[in-house]
Structure 1
Amino acid sequence: MRQETPRSFFKVVIYLFGFLLLWEWLKPLKVVTDTASLTYFIVFIALALTLSYFRIHYAITAFVKILFILYSLHGLYYMGSFFSPRWFREFSHDLWENLGLTLGREWPSLSFEYRSLLFFVLLWLMTYLIHYWLSVRKTILLFYVMTVTYVCLIDTFTVYEGDKSIIRVVIFGFLLMGLLALERLVQREQLLGSKMSRHRWIVPLTVMLGISSVVAFAAPKADPIWPDPVPYLQSFSEGAGGSGVNKIGYDTDDTKLGGPFVGDPTVIFNAEVTREHYWKIESKDLYTGKGWEQSISDDQQDPLTFDPGKKVPIPSPQSDEERDLESEKVMVERTYSHVAYPYGVETINGNENGYFSFNPIDEKVTSYKEPDETVKLEEYELSYRSPSYSQKKMKAANEEQEIMQVPEFVDRYTQLPDTIPQRVKDLAVEITAEEDNWYDKVRAIEQYFSKEAYVYDQFDVPVPEEEQDYVDQFLFETRRGYCDNFSTSMVVLVRSLGIPARWAKGYTEGEYSRQVDSTYKLYEVSNNNAHSWVEVFFPEVGWVPFEPTVGFSNNVSYQYDIDIPDSDNNEVPIPEQKETPKQPLQPEEDTASSGDGFSLSKLWDDITSFIADNWGKIVMGTILLIIMGIALFLVRRRWMPYVLILYYRRKSSDDVFSEAYLSLMKQLERYGLKMDDGQTLRGYSRYIDQFFGTREMTSLTNNYERVLYGQSPTKEDWAKMRELWENLIKRTTG
């Protein structure tokens, strides 16, 4: 009895920690559900674990649990005496109706009484599993991991604060795992009495866990390295738009800009292109202080229609006929009626049974089948001449040129709301104070954001207050944002100087996929490539795109035709360098490529591109492989014998029997039948045969000893012993 008392005490402690872990599952229910009281559920858990601890007969246990569940349901939902048959008739009727609703999968119609009954049944199953893990398997790791995951998810996606709960779970879980490890050791090694003093195990475990918990709680915490997944997941739910979290992608409504957005890798279209360029969809001209609208409604100006293959009626003050006409093909994944096109587009094909419409207000091209019916194209081709903008003409632009004498045009593209703060206009003057022409002023504003270390950020981006200007907030307060912040701010700054500008939107060049042939490259354009930029008007040149967003480059081509005064050394002017885009565009061709188009450089670029595009899948796949490897290693006792059987069936050397016998010894050790120190082979073989109830190990050992003490092994020895060896090693898989 003196030995049983401490064992009983530690078993009670083990069940107590199991109860505390399961209790942590119930605590969030009062916060995230309409559950008013958890008392009945907590008492039920304690009752079930107590009955399991004392190993009460299952019939008595079931009767007691059912009686307590009925008593709890009566106390929660019914009036009167528990012994009154009236409430039981009502409960039986409700149970019958809810069973029908369950079979009909009408979940919202289930009564609260029935839901509580189901929850009691769930707790019944959970307590049985806890008892099984604690008393039979003596391991609680799976339930511990499930508890930590549950608390983390509840803390992340609900209002429940799980900070204290996760600390309790860690402490209870590690103490419980330590106690169970001790119990497994005592049981396996049969350590009784003076051979094992439990406090020598428990005290160091408790001290170590307590110190590490205090240190971990008090130590400084690093900031999270991954973005919060909640906005991304919530963006898929209905009504997510009201949360202030946007989902990246093309959208026609730009009246309220600001706030964070979540990425969306959904592919919109694939394009076979000859060079990288932006894909334009539309432009907007009216800045409201909160976002963008059109100053002219669609019904105020008739759209221009054109047939497939005909000239697109996009106005251009100058045409560069010297540049080659290039053609590209667009394969649409998410069909839409508008057309994404490059600058300099001339013709569009793909709507052979209809026509195209060009809106001169926003420069949007739409495909039509009938006068009032749009058509969504799955594929179209277009031709264009990549524009090259004259620096000489842009530097010569000024307010005295002909187009600048048209009030309607100037008012439309230099418009600013009356509420724009004066400090925004003052900043524009300050940035361009040292420049004497439109082009240099625009370039100074374009480069201002990178020089002043503005930050590109998709998540920590606030929404302007009701009386706050969107641009003013970005320029002077947050100084962080994404393309909409940068592009809108540049348009406002340029307009503050009286220079016509507008807001353009569409997609960047996308992600490089592969080389189609010697001419074309395939690019993948997704919602993540949705983008906005700036267009500035220069008389005699037209609308010129500019890219103020930090980390982006729109691949604009300039004519370096500025007059340079003669000098003695006749130095050739160095063309202005453009920003190098951060995203990989076209992989460089290896000059030493073979005749069939293969090159080491291209192969390396394909590999790096594949890794960049699929790094998440690669990481997850690697983790899964590691987990599978660990799982296979942990259960190797079950599958290793079959591998050994196949391996030794193929071997035909003379010493195959000796190798097979030693492999059998290792497998028996993995099974838990380890040979004790000082034990002889014959004594060990008798122990094995006694354990399995056979004579196979003795026969194998006798033959092995003859080999061990001088008799040369032969193939015939293995042929005679192989069946015994296979029968015995298969027994270790159970």
Structure 2
Amino acid sequence: MSGGVQKRDLQRGVLYGLAFILLWEWLRPLNDVTDTGNLGYFVVFILLSITLYYLNINKFLSFSIKLVFIGYSLYHLYADDTFMNPLAAMMADLWENIGLTIGREWSMLSDMYRSLLFFVLLWLMTYLIHYWLSVRKTMLLFYIMTVIYVSLLDTFTSFDAKGAIIRVIILGFLLLGMLALLRLKDQESLRGTTRATGRWMIPLVIMIGFSSVLAFAAPKIDPVWPDPVPYLKAFADDNGGGSGVSRLGYGEDDSKLGGPFLGDPKTVFTADVIREHYWRIESKDIYTGKGWERTGSEETEQAVPFNAGEEVPLDLTPPDPEKEPETEFIDVKEQYSHVVYPYGINTFQGNEEGYFSLSEDTSKITTLEGEEEVKLEEYAIDYTNPVYSLKGLESASAETLPGGSEAFLERYTQLPDTLPERVKELAETITADEENWYRKVTAIEEYFEAENFVYEQFEVPVPEEGQDYVDQFLFDTQMGYCDNYSTAMVVMVRSLGIPARWVKGYTEGEYQRSIDTQYKTYKVTNNNAHSWPEVYFPGEGWVPFEPTVGFTGSSIVNYDYELPESEETAVPPVDQEKPEKDLAPEDEASAGSSSSSFSLKRLWDDTVTFVEENWGKILLAILALAIIAVGVFLVRRRWLPFMLIPYYKFKKDEDAFPKAYVSLLNQLKRYGLKMDDGQTLRSYSRYVDSFFGTREMTSLTDKYERALYGQKLTGHDWKQTRKLWENLIKRTTG
């Protein structure tokens, strides 16, 4: 065997060996991420297949060897020694599983049949590798797929792919570099000596080795964005327990908060109301570090029954006998066995044949007939909208709690022992300059908006094992939805020794229409499900707060301090109510007209705000576009001729052919047929024709030279010349 043949066989052997290792990387993780066993049989099979392709064995013989190996492997893996005829049993199993496959009964396929399919898949993969190496001389697609495969397994499974990623990067670059050298030799018809090959390979190996060591040893920058894996895992782990993806709406299990929510526009009820307000359902008082649980259980809870029209035995706010109750009407669309109610509830109208039951542990009101729960289709409520005294709120403290409140205070300031100390330290820092309970609570309520926390329903990670839900939100992600904000506020308020609890219900809903001058109809959907904190102030009762960014709340605080008489410009006492979220149609129109005027400053501010909030996405989009642009530019040899052909096809001027000829020369250069310095056009045209096996380039060059010396082309000549030019330039796209 000559030295050249030996060298080519060595190069092919190295290429096939590197390809085998890359394919082997696909099998390594299977032991960790699946229940696949006996991987040795599959590894030996891909080694056998690649070796047969390398040795260029007769196709029939190669097919027979692979088939015998597969049968041998399946026999040793699955044949039962008690079978009189294991081959017949295997064939029967195969026939049965083919029927199951046709019937799409995937879960009933036998292990032997699954292994057979895996062998067939590996057979196809080894053939593709042989085709890419011997015919196309490129492995870029397979290399990219391998990198993505290993990276995804490392990200989303327990498989540790650090070593695999290093091997794939180093060996993949080496493989791509060697294939690039082979393609260059083929395009330039180079014979290639050992010395020339060494001049290519030695710098390649040095560059790959140096860059790999440098990348491994260099300091790593911390990630800019939060880890998306818990969020994505939450979508994959939809178990309804609070840790997976859920749909918006009321649910009873809050023991594991976190993860994304999907919107649900299904209507729960419509309400004819006098004013907008939140709708309350229940409260919970035990924070576990992962979510909320209730005191007691449904089996042991103390329930207080009452009938329609009777005073609701719920002590949320002190009664105000000076105010006349107001009546609102609920039309239920998605029926539950509980009712919703506003703050200041007095009585319920409805369920006259049954009764209502109030849970003392959660303040949840259910509807019953005898011992059975019933679902009302409609009911009415009488309530007195509470107005909280600012003077009373600011005078509240632990000293104003009634005697015997130790158990009450212990219940509503409960925190788990595992709560990180920095949560308490943050609450103390926020409220360091405040003197009373109310100012401390409002300071915490305003903290989230002041610190630019983000309201987010989708990209919300799930706390990891051993991680506190509130601690993660306050210090790691700083984004989430109502559960994050309300829970964080309750925990921080409790850490200051102020009684607080977590409440669930609905926001006011979406404005539908005005019934008359007094009543408006609002539609409440599952998207309006909400949670918020309640804080207890002696003398004022349980007061709701709204820390969630983007929500305004519905509580009213009356500024009831006496103003100095000498202050002529003093504003008379008014109700300090937060602005309503929903406007009547005429209000929306007027608001739209006042804000519709164009302003360059507003446009600039909006642009700056958008860039600040989305700079990561913008940077990622620019990077993606740049990568696409670079990729398109690098492969311009393949697509540019299809733009040049129609461009020159309809040109009729005298300069059309000379310009088209120059474009052809540039395209041939991109294809790899470069004109040497000092080489004449005629010599170069013969070189091109010898490469493609035609005489098109010589003919075009002859016409080009005649055109340069003043001989114009006739219409027939230009048509014939254009066809030659199109045929030749199309050859460069292969």
> Fold match, TM over 0.5?
yes
Q: Are 1:285 and 1:293, in contact at CA under 8 Å, matched by a contact in 2? A: yes
Which of 483, 486, 489 is 1:487 aligned to? 489
Identify the residue that residue 517 of structure 2 maps to in structure 1. Answer: none
Residue 531 of structure 1: how far off its partner (Å): 4.0
Segment of structure 1 superposing worse, 12-21 or 529-538? 529-538
Q: Where do residues 500-579 of structure 1 align in structure 2 (5 Å cutoff)?
A: 501-506=500-505, 530-537=530-537, 539=539, 543-547=542-546, 558-564=557-563
Once residues 147 and 491 of structure 1 are traced to their aligned partners in structure 2, the CA distance between those partners, rounded to angstroms, is: 51
Per-residue CA distance 1:509-544 (angstroms, 9 max, x = gap): 999xxxxxxxx9x999997995432343463x6643
After superposition, the Cα gap between the structure-2 partners of 1:220 and 1:153, relative to the gap in structure 1 and judged at 3 Å, is same
SS in 2 for 1:665: helix
Q: Are 2:247 and 2:262, in contact at CA under 8 Å, matched by a contact in 1? A: no
State the AA in 1 paired with 2:700: L
Once residues 476 and 230 of structure 2 are traced to their aligned partners in structure 1, the CA distance between those partners, rounded to angstroms, is: 20
Residue 256 of structure 1: how far off its partner (Å): 3.2
Segment of structure 1 superposing worse, 90-99 or 612-621? 612-621
Q: Are 2:281 and 2:363, in contact at CA under 8 Å, matched by a contact in 1? A: yes
Identify the residue that residue 70 of structure 1 maps to in structure 2. Answer: 71
Identify the residue that residue 649 of structure 1 maps to in structure 2. Answer: 649
- Compute the RMSD of aligned alpha carbons: 6.5
After superposition, the Cα gap between the structure-2 partners of 1:320 and 1:657, relative to the gap in structure 1 and judged at 3 Å, is farther
Residue 128 of structure 1: how far off its partner (Å): 0.9
Once residues 95 and 679 of structure 2 are traced to their aligned partners in structure 1, the CA distance between those partners, rounded to angstroms, is: 66
Residue 118 of structure 1: how far off its partner (Å): 1.5
After superposition, the Cα gap between the structure-2 partners of 1:292 and 1:652, relative to the gap in structure 1 and judged at 3 Å, is same
Q: Are 2:303 and 2:359, in contact at CA under 8 Å, matched by a contact in 1? A: no
Once residues 366 and 503 of structure 2 are traced to their aligned partners in structure 1, the CA distance between those partners, rounded to angstroms, is: 17
Once residues 663 and 338 of structure 1 are traced to their aligned partners in structure 2, the CA distance between those partners, rounded to angstroms, is: 78
Identify the residue that residue 263 of structure 1 maps to in structure 2. Answer: 260
Once residues 552 and 397 of structure 1 are traced to their aligned partners in structure 2, the CA distance between those partners, rounded to angstroms, is: 26
After superposition, the Cα gap between the structure-2 partners of 1:632 and 1:366, relative to the gap in structure 1 and judged at 3 Å, is farther
Identify the residue that residue 39 of structure 2 maps to in structure 1. Answer: 38
> What's the TM-score once normalised by structure 2's chain length?
0.71
Q: Are 1:264 and 1:527, in contact at CA under 8 Å, matched by a contact in 2? A: no
Q: Are 1:491 and 1:502, in contact at CA under 8 Å, matched by a contact in 2? A: no
Identify the residue that residue 61 of structure 1 maps to in structure 2. Answer: 62
SS in 2 for 1:657: helix
After superposition, the Cα gap between the structure-2 partners of 1:564 and 1:10, relative to the gap in structure 1 and judged at 3 Å, is same
Identify the residue that residue 583 of structure 2 maps to in structure 1. Answer: none
Residue 288 of structure 1: how far off its partner (Å): 7.3
Per-residue CA distance 1:419-473 (angstroms, 9 max, x = gap): 988x99x9999999997765346446767999999999965857789xxx999x9
Residue 125 of structure 1: how far off its partner (Å): 0.9
Identify the residue that residue 301 of structure 1 maps to in structure 2. Answer: 305
Q: Where do residues 405-444 of structure 1 align in structure 2 (5 Å cutoff)?
A: 415-416=411-412, 439-440=438-439, 442-443=441-442
After superposition, the Cα gap between the structure-2 partners of 1:622 and 1:251, relative to the gap in structure 1 and judged at 3 Å, is farther
After superposition, the Cα gap between the structure-2 partners of 1:183 and 1:366, relative to the gap in structure 1 and judged at 3 Å, is farther
Q: Percent identity?
A: 44
Q: Are 1:314 and 1:363, in contact at CA under 8 Å, matched by a contact in 2? A: no
Q: Are 1:284 and 1:504, in contact at CA under 8 Å, matched by a contact in 2? A: yes
Q: Are 1:358 and 1:366, in contact at CA under 8 Å, matched by a contact in 2? A: yes
Q: Are 1:487 and 1:503, in contact at CA under 8 Å, matched by a contact in 2? A: no
SS in 1 for 2:3: coil
Identify the residue that residue 585 of structure 2 maps to in structure 1. Answer: none
Identify the residue that residue 101 of structure 1 maps to in structure 2. Answer: 100
Identify the residue that residue 282 of structure 1 maps to in structure 2. Answer: 281
Q: Are 2:234 and 2:260, in contact at CA under 8 Å, matched by a contact in 1? A: no
Identify the residue that residue 582 of structure 2 maps to in structure 1. Answer: none
State the AA in 1 paired with 2:649: R
Residue 477 of structure 1: how far off its partner (Å): 13
Identify the residue that residue 4 of structure 1 maps to in structure 2. Answer: 5
Identify the residue that residue 27 of structure 1 maps to in structure 2. Answer: 28
State the aligned residue count.
688
Q: Are 2:94 and 2:113, in contact at CA under 8 Å, matched by a contact in 1? A: yes
After superposition, the Cα gap between the structure-2 partners of 1:358 and 1:688, relative to the gap in structure 1 and judged at 3 Å, is farther
SS in 2 for 1:198: helix
Once residues 636 and 654 of structure 1 are traced to their aligned partners in structure 2, the CA distance between those partners, rounded to angstroms, is: 27
Once residues 316 and 541 of structure 2 are traced to their aligned partners in structure 1, the CA distance between those partners, rounded to angstroms, is: 11
Residue 127 of structure 1: how far off its partner (Å): 1.0
Identify the residue that residue 391 of structure 1 maps to in structure 2. Answer: 390
1:664 lines up with 2:661 in the alignment: no
Per-residue CA distance 1:380-439 (angstroms, 9 max, x = gap): xx9x999874423433568999xx8799x9987884489988x99x99999999977653
Identify the residue that residue 16 of structure 1 maps to in structure 2. Answer: 17
Per-residue CA distance 1:257-306 (angstroms, 9 max, x = gap): 56xx222353557999xxx9985543416447673427896952347689
Residue 593 of structure 1: how far off its partner (Å): 9.5
SS in 2 for 1:235: helix
Per-residue CA distance 1:695-719 (angstroms, 9 max, x = gap): 5444433332222124467878645
Q: Are 1:280 and 1:504, in contact at CA under 8 Å, matched by a contact in 2? A: no
Residue 141 of structure 1: how far off its partner (Å): 1.6
After superposition, the Cα gap between the structure-2 partners of 1:197 and 1:639, relative to the gap in structure 1 and judged at 3 Å, is closer
Once residues 464 and 299 of structure 1 are traced to their aligned partners in structure 2, the CA distance between those partners, rounded to angstroms, is: 36
After superposition, the Cα gap between the structure-2 partners of 1:393 and 1:676, relative to the gap in structure 1 and judged at 3 Å, is same
Once residues 319 and 666 of structure 1 are traced to their aligned partners in structure 2, the CA distance between those partners, rounded to angstroms, is: 93
Residue 58 of structure 1: how far off its partner (Å): 1.0
Residue 222 of structure 1: how far off its partner (Å): 3.2
Once residues 71 and 563 of structure 1 are traced to their aligned partners in structure 2, the CA distance between those partners, rounded to angstroms, is: 97
